[in-house]
Chain A
Amino acid sequence: MTSPCGCGPKPGASSCGGSGETSPGPELLGRLAEPWTDGVHVTVLGDVPRARTTLAVGDRLGTLKIRCGFGRANYRVPPWLYAVGSPTDRSPVLLSANYKASFDALRGVLGGRDAWILVLDTKGINVWCAAGKGTFGTAEIIRRVEASGLARLVAHRRLIAPQLGAPGVAAHEVQMATGFRITWGPVRAADLPAFLDARLKATLEMRRVRFGLRDRLILVPVELVTGARQALPAAAVVLLLGGLGAHGYSLAALSNTGVAGAALVLASFATAQVLGPILLPWLPGRAFAVKGAVLGLGLAGALAASGLLGSGLHAAAWFALAPAITSFFVMNFTGATTYTSLSGVLREMRFAVPAQIAGGAVGLLLWLAGLFLPGGSVR
């Protein structure tokens, strides 16, 4: 994925939900004017907002919007304590992130149950990414548990944390500081009801992260939107260069060769961002850069076979340019997957980035040469 971190303010900056750090009593949110809450649950400590367990059209549209890459940096719920149903001092306490899609995924599976949800301030980032950054982390849990007065609300001393929060949370440190023991819940919120019904036992299947076709398809819109920041300028450059020729700059050349070149850049980009995620398990090679290059060669081959690539230098150019482009974008998909390691990415980048630069440079030179040499391009 191509966007640098959008995590916003550093930890310590004031969060939307918390009141001042100096208040002596527990900090509770009270009534919220949010459609996803249903009044309050009255506790010995004060009023706690009750979260609905049915997702409304607005919630689903919100999720759809961020899945398309819009407004992801500011899709949040106020952190702090929420009630689901009418929880008692024996009800389970579930930890969540204040990314609204994470919170929605959790409350949406709790229909008919009584529970507490302690929402951490993860700066609007989902559980897994926030754990990697440490905002879904040991210190934040300790702070929220103490400031919310949780120990006076519940008789037990157990927190159920999403398993994917574990990179940021040292369970033994939380227990030492708060007395609350962390039990790791399932990876997916959908498995939570079964986990709760099985007395907090997770099956091996619940512990494993997946990356199925559906998981990959969901990422395609975001890949297209974020990658467009690089693909559109590249296409524009090719479009403008297309006006060059042995007889100077001409709009006719631009609208012919330039448009065709820009279209090929965008076709390579779209191939990488759509077919890359979909075909990922079946593309040859382990390295994503290799998988991407294969896609680009396939694209160039298919276009050449159907006569769309022209001939001469320009056709040759695209056999270098298309794989360079698709290799780059599929390599960038590593960040969106659930199974790539940093060491692996560094290993493949060591050969892939020079190869992509070389392919791009050779392709561009061939293509430029085709603009000036007679017979360079048939298109």
Chain B
Amino acid sequence: MRYLEDVVTLQLDRSRCNGCGQCVSVCPHAVFRLENKRSVLADRGACMECGACARNCEPGAISVRAGVGCAAGVLAGLVAGTEPTCGCSQESTASCG
């Protein structure tokens, strides 16, 4: 399943990549791939902006505006005059220990 293409804020600065591969490990949508010991964006459109890669990129080569893609949260934020607030609802089977 894919969402809208060409919308995400994910950016990778390959010149700062140290090839540690953390981004490859933490991304749940296989957005990154190591190529010649450096990360590349193999599938940028699959990014859901969870922010795991940027959080775990020690050299700071990755930037993304992390957030939850949740329309109800955006609306709740609009009503309350705050940032989007998640409804804590992503609880499919995705709650591994």
- Mask, A198-222, CB within 8 Å of B = 1, is 0000101001110100111011001
- Mask, A336-353, CB within 8 Å of B = 1, is 111111111111110001
B87/A5 in contact, CB under 8 A: yes
A6/B48 in contact, CB under 8 A: no
> A335 and B89 in contact (CB under 8 A), knowing A167-B51, A286-B4?
yes
User: How many Å from the CB of B56 to the closest CB on chain A?
Assistant: 5
Q: Which residue of chain A has its CB nearest to the CB of B30? A: A208
- Mask, A270-295, CB within 8 Å of B = 1, is 00000000001100001110000000
- Mask, B45-60, CB within 8 Å of A = 1, is 0111111100110100
Contact residue among B8, B28, B70 (Cβ-Cβ distance under 8 Å from A335):
B70
Task: Please choose the segment from A37-45, A158-166, A248-256, A259-267 that sits at the chain B interface, where 4 or more of its residues have CB less than 8 A away.
Answer: A158-166
Answer whether residue B41 sits at the interface, using C-beta atoms and an 8 A cutoff: no
> A172 and B9 in contact (CB under 8 A), knowing A102-B97, A340-B70?
no
Answer whether residue A334 sits at the interface, using C-beta atoms and an 8 A cutoff: yes
Chain A residue contacts of B88, Cβ below 8 A:
3, 5-7, 72, 125-126, 129
Question: Tally of A-B residue pairs with Cβ under 8 A?
Answer: 245
Chain A residue contacts of B65, Cβ below 8 A:
342-343
> A338 and B30 in contact (CB under 8 A), knowing A163-B25, A343-B49?
no
A1/B8 in contact, CB under 8 A: no
Task: Please choose the segment from A12-20, A91-99, A304-312, A366-374 that sits at the chain B interface, where 4 or more of its residues have CB less than 8 A away.
Answer: A91-99
Within 8 A of B (CB), among A1-32: 1-7
Chain A residue contacts of B68, Cβ below 8 A:
129, 132, 335, 342
In the docked arrangement, what's the CA distance between A371 and B88, Å? 41
User: How many Å from the CB of B34 to the closest CB on chain A?
Assistant: 12
Chain A residue contacts of B91, Cβ below 8 A:
72, 101, 126, 128-129, 222
Contact residue among A126, A132, A184 (Cβ-Cβ distance under 8 Å from B50):
A132
B70/A166 in contact, CB under 8 A: no
User: How many Å from the CB of A9 to the closest CB on chain B?
Assistant: 14
Chain B residue contacts of A218, Cβ below 8 A:
92-93
A345/B70 in contact, CB under 8 A: yes
B76/A4 in contact, CB under 8 A: yes
In the docked arrangement, what's the CA distance between A95 and B26, Å? 15
Chain A residue contacts of B67, Cβ below 8 A:
341-343
A334/B28 in contact, CB under 8 A: no
Chain A residue contacts of B48, Cβ below 8 A:
338-341
User: How many Å from the CB of B62 to the closest CB on chain A?
Assistant: 12
Answer whether residue A103 sits at the interface, using C-beta atoms and an 8 A cutoff: yes
B residues in contact (CB < 8 Å) with A: 1-5, 7-9, 22, 25-30, 46-52, 55-56, 58, 65-76, 80, 84-97
- Lowest 7 A-B CB distances belong to which pairs? A106-B97, A335-B70, A340-B69, A342-B67, A1-B89, A166-B52, A166-B26
A-B contact pairs, 20 of them (CB 8 A): A3-B72, A109-B97, A126-B95, A128-B90, A131-B50, A166-B56, A172-B22, A172-B58, A184-B25, A187-B96, A192-B97, A280-B1, A286-B5, A288-B71, A335-B68, A341-B48, A343-B9, A344-B3, A344-B7, A344-B69
